[in-house]
Amino acid sequence: MSNLVELGSAVDAAQQVGNMVGVFAFGASGALLAVRRRFDMVGIAVLAVCTATGGGILRDLIIGATPPAAFVHLSYATVALLSAVLIFFWHPPTRVTRTPLNVADAIGLGIFCVTGTVTAFQHGLSATSSAALGLVTAVGGGVIRDVLAGVTPSVLSDGELYAVPALLGSAATAALLHHGQYTFWTGGLAGLGAVALRLIALWRHWHAPRARPHRRRNPE
Protein backbone atom coordinates (compact mmCIF):
# COMPACT_ATOMS: atom_id res chain seq x y z
CA MET A 1 0.00 0.00 0.00
CA SER A 2 1.24 3.47 -0.79
CA ASN A 3 2.56 5.46 2.11
CA LEU A 4 0.44 8.43 1.00
CA VAL A 5 -3.07 7.21 0.34
CA GLU A 6 -4.74 10.29 1.74
CA LEU A 7 -3.28 13.76 1.47
CA GLY A 8 -3.82 16.36 4.16
CA SER A 9 -6.75 18.72 3.91
CA ALA A 10 -4.47 21.65 3.06
CA VAL A 11 -2.92 19.76 0.17
CA ASP A 12 -6.36 18.61 -1.00
CA ALA A 13 -7.49 22.22 -1.07
CA ALA A 14 -4.37 23.15 -3.04
CA GLN A 15 -5.20 20.30 -5.44
CA GLN A 16 -8.64 21.79 -6.07
CA VAL A 17 -7.24 25.27 -6.58
CA GLY A 18 -4.58 23.89 -8.91
CA ASN A 19 -7.21 22.06 -10.94
CA MET A 20 -9.26 25.24 -11.34
CA VAL A 21 -6.23 27.28 -12.41
CA GLY A 22 -5.24 24.54 -14.86
CA VAL A 23 -8.77 24.38 -16.27
CA PHE A 24 -8.78 28.14 -16.78
CA ALA A 25 -5.33 28.12 -18.42
CA PHE A 26 -6.14 25.25 -20.76
CA GLY A 27 -9.55 26.74 -21.50
CA ALA A 28 -7.84 29.97 -22.51
CA SER A 29 -5.38 28.08 -24.71
CA GLY A 30 -8.25 26.31 -26.46
CA ALA A 31 -10.13 29.57 -26.96
CA LEU A 32 -7.02 31.30 -28.30
CA LEU A 33 -6.40 28.54 -30.82
CA ALA A 34 -10.06 28.80 -31.86
CA VAL A 35 -9.50 32.51 -32.51
CA ARG A 36 -6.41 31.70 -34.58
CA ARG A 37 -8.50 29.24 -36.59
CA ARG A 38 -11.25 31.87 -36.99
CA PHE A 39 -13.91 29.82 -35.18
CA ASP A 40 -17.19 31.44 -34.16
CA MET A 41 -18.45 31.87 -30.58
CA VAL A 42 -19.70 28.28 -30.33
CA GLY A 43 -16.43 26.91 -31.68
CA ILE A 44 -14.47 28.96 -29.16
CA ALA A 45 -16.59 27.64 -26.29
CA VAL A 46 -16.40 24.02 -27.44
CA LEU A 47 -12.64 24.11 -27.94
CA ALA A 48 -12.12 25.77 -24.55
CA VAL A 49 -14.18 23.16 -22.66
CA CYS A 50 -12.71 20.19 -24.52
CA THR A 51 -9.15 21.41 -23.94
CA ALA A 52 -9.74 22.14 -20.26
CA THR A 53 -11.48 18.87 -19.38
CA GLY A 54 -10.26 16.37 -21.97
CA GLY A 55 -7.12 15.20 -20.17
CA GLY A 56 -8.90 14.80 -16.85
CA ILE A 57 -11.72 12.83 -18.44
CA LEU A 58 -9.24 10.45 -20.06
CA ARG A 59 -7.44 9.98 -16.73
CA ASP A 60 -10.65 9.32 -14.81
CA LEU A 61 -11.85 6.77 -17.35
CA ILE A 62 -8.53 4.92 -17.16
CA ILE A 63 -8.46 4.75 -13.35
CA GLY A 64 -12.15 3.87 -13.16
CA ALA A 65 -13.27 7.09 -11.46
CA THR A 66 -16.64 7.24 -13.19
CA PRO A 67 -18.46 9.34 -13.97
CA PRO A 68 -15.46 11.62 -14.60
CA ALA A 69 -15.11 14.65 -12.32
CA ALA A 70 -15.79 17.01 -15.22
CA PHE A 71 -19.33 15.59 -15.47
CA VAL A 72 -19.94 15.63 -11.71
CA HIS A 73 -18.53 19.04 -10.81
CA LEU A 74 -19.91 21.59 -13.25
CA SER A 75 -17.41 24.13 -11.93
CA TYR A 76 -14.86 22.72 -14.39
CA ALA A 77 -16.99 23.51 -17.42
CA THR A 78 -18.02 26.83 -15.88
CA VAL A 79 -14.43 27.98 -15.43
CA ALA A 80 -13.54 26.83 -18.96
CA LEU A 81 -16.49 28.73 -20.38
CA LEU A 82 -15.46 31.80 -18.39
CA SER A 83 -12.05 31.71 -20.05
CA ALA A 84 -13.76 31.36 -23.45
CA VAL A 85 -15.99 34.38 -22.72
CA LEU A 86 -12.99 36.48 -21.72
CA ILE A 87 -11.09 35.55 -24.88
CA PHE A 88 -14.19 36.17 -27.02
CA PHE A 89 -14.74 39.69 -25.69
CA TRP A 90 -11.03 40.47 -25.69
CA HIS A 91 -11.10 39.38 -29.33
CA PRO A 92 -7.34 39.44 -29.89
CA PRO A 93 -6.10 39.70 -33.48
CA THR A 94 -4.98 36.31 -34.76
CA ARG A 95 -1.46 37.61 -35.35
CA VAL A 96 -0.88 38.25 -31.62
CA THR A 97 -2.44 35.08 -30.16
CA ARG A 98 0.59 32.82 -30.43
CA THR A 99 2.45 34.03 -27.31
CA PRO A 100 -0.61 34.07 -24.98
CA LEU A 101 -1.57 30.65 -26.35
CA ASN A 102 1.87 29.21 -25.62
CA VAL A 103 1.99 30.70 -22.11
CA ALA A 104 -1.51 29.52 -21.19
CA ASP A 105 -0.76 26.06 -22.59
CA ALA A 106 2.50 25.84 -20.61
CA ILE A 107 0.73 26.81 -17.38
CA GLY A 108 -1.99 24.21 -17.91
CA LEU A 109 0.62 21.60 -18.81
CA GLY A 110 2.62 22.24 -15.64
CA ILE A 111 -0.38 22.22 -13.32
CA PHE A 112 -2.10 19.16 -14.75
CA CYS A 113 1.03 17.00 -14.81
CA VAL A 114 1.13 17.47 -11.02
CA THR A 115 -2.58 17.26 -10.16
CA GLY A 116 -3.11 14.35 -12.55
CA THR A 117 -0.30 12.40 -10.92
CA VAL A 118 -1.65 13.09 -7.44
CA THR A 119 -5.18 12.00 -8.41
CA ALA A 120 -3.91 8.73 -9.87
CA PHE A 121 -1.76 8.07 -6.80
CA GLN A 122 -4.71 8.70 -4.49
CA HIS A 123 -6.62 6.02 -6.38
CA GLY A 124 -4.00 3.41 -5.49
CA LEU A 125 -1.82 3.38 -8.58
CA SER A 126 1.93 2.89 -8.30
CA ALA A 127 4.30 5.81 -8.65
CA THR A 128 5.21 4.79 -12.21
CA SER A 129 1.58 4.41 -13.30
CA SER A 130 0.67 7.67 -11.57
CA ALA A 131 3.37 9.50 -13.51
CA ALA A 132 2.02 8.03 -16.75
CA LEU A 133 -1.51 9.18 -15.87
CA GLY A 134 -0.14 12.61 -14.97
CA LEU A 135 1.34 12.82 -18.46
CA VAL A 136 -2.00 11.78 -19.99
CA THR A 137 -3.79 14.45 -17.96
CA ALA A 138 -1.31 17.11 -19.03
CA VAL A 139 -1.22 16.41 -22.77
CA GLY A 140 -4.67 14.87 -23.34
CA GLY A 141 -6.57 18.14 -23.53
CA GLY A 142 -4.00 19.64 -25.87
CA VAL A 143 -4.24 16.64 -28.20
CA ILE A 144 -8.04 16.92 -28.34
CA ARG A 145 -7.74 20.68 -28.91
CA ASP A 146 -5.31 20.30 -31.79
CA VAL A 147 -7.27 17.50 -33.46
CA LEU A 148 -10.53 19.46 -33.31
CA ALA A 149 -8.74 22.54 -34.65
CA GLY A 150 -7.21 20.59 -37.53
CA VAL A 151 -3.55 21.01 -36.59
CA THR A 152 -0.83 18.45 -35.84
CA PRO A 153 -0.90 17.69 -32.10
CA SER A 154 2.14 19.14 -30.34
CA VAL A 155 2.75 15.87 -28.49
CA LEU A 156 3.38 14.05 -31.79
CA SER A 157 5.97 16.42 -33.20
CA ASP A 158 7.13 17.57 -29.73
CA GLY A 159 8.31 20.79 -31.31
CA GLU A 160 9.99 22.92 -28.66
CA LEU A 161 9.54 20.07 -26.14
CA TYR A 162 5.90 19.49 -25.19
CA ALA A 163 5.61 16.00 -23.75
CA VAL A 164 9.07 16.02 -22.14
CA PRO A 165 8.36 18.83 -19.60
CA ALA A 166 5.07 17.16 -18.66
CA LEU A 167 6.77 13.79 -18.23
CA LEU A 168 9.52 15.25 -16.05
CA GLY A 169 6.99 17.11 -13.91
CA SER A 170 4.87 13.97 -13.51
CA ALA A 171 7.91 11.85 -12.67
CA ALA A 172 9.11 14.35 -10.06
CA THR A 173 5.65 14.47 -8.48
CA ALA A 174 5.39 10.67 -8.42
CA ALA A 175 8.81 10.41 -6.75
CA LEU A 176 7.76 12.93 -4.10
CA LEU A 177 4.54 11.00 -3.45
CA HIS A 178 6.32 7.65 -3.28
CA HIS A 179 8.83 8.92 -0.72
CA GLY A 180 6.26 10.83 1.33
CA GLN A 181 7.76 14.21 0.49
CA TYR A 182 4.86 15.69 -1.46
CA THR A 183 3.60 19.00 -0.09
CA PHE A 184 1.98 22.10 -1.54
CA TRP A 185 5.43 23.63 -2.04
CA THR A 186 7.26 20.61 -3.46
CA GLY A 187 4.37 19.90 -5.83
CA GLY A 188 4.34 23.54 -6.85
CA LEU A 189 8.05 23.39 -7.64
CA ALA A 190 7.54 20.29 -9.79
CA GLY A 191 4.81 22.04 -11.76
CA LEU A 192 6.79 25.27 -12.01
CA GLY A 193 9.76 23.33 -13.34
CA ALA A 194 7.61 21.85 -16.11
CA VAL A 195 6.22 25.29 -17.01
CA ALA A 196 9.69 26.84 -17.03
CA LEU A 197 11.16 24.07 -19.19
CA ARG A 198 8.34 24.38 -21.70
CA LEU A 199 8.70 28.17 -21.95
CA ILE A 200 12.50 28.01 -22.19
CA ALA A 201 12.20 25.37 -24.92
CA LEU A 202 9.87 27.69 -26.83
CA TRP A 203 12.29 30.58 -26.40
CA ARG A 204 15.41 28.58 -27.32
CA HIS A 205 13.67 26.38 -29.92
CA TRP A 206 14.70 23.15 -28.20
CA HIS A 207 13.12 19.98 -29.52
CA ALA A 208 13.40 16.25 -29.02
CA PRO A 209 15.82 14.30 -31.25
CA ARG A 210 14.47 13.58 -34.71
CA ALA A 211 15.29 10.82 -37.15
CA ARG A 212 17.79 11.89 -39.75
CA PRO A 213 16.64 11.53 -43.36
CA HIS A 214 18.41 8.87 -45.37
CA ARG A 215 21.10 10.30 -47.58
CA ARG A 216 21.46 8.65 -50.91
CA ARG A 217 24.94 8.30 -52.23
CA ASN A 218 25.64 9.76 -55.62
CA PRO A 219 26.40 7.00 -58.15
CA GLU A 220 30.01 6.96 -59.23
Mean pLDDT, to the nearest integer, of 141-167? Answer: 87
Is a pLDDT exceeding 90 seen at residue 211?
no
Taking only the tens place, the pLDDT of each residue in 99-126 is 888 999 999 999 999 999 999 999 999 9
| Single pTM value for the model | 0.86
Is a pLDDT exceeding 50 seen at residue 184?
yes
* pLDDT bracket for residue 215 (50, 70, 90): low
pLDDT over 70 percentage in the chain: 89
Domain extents in the chain: 9-204
**What pLDDT does 3 receive?**
45
- For 152-191, b/e burial (b = at least 16 CB within 10 A) is ebbbeebbbbbbbbbbbbbbbbbbbbbeeebebebbebbb
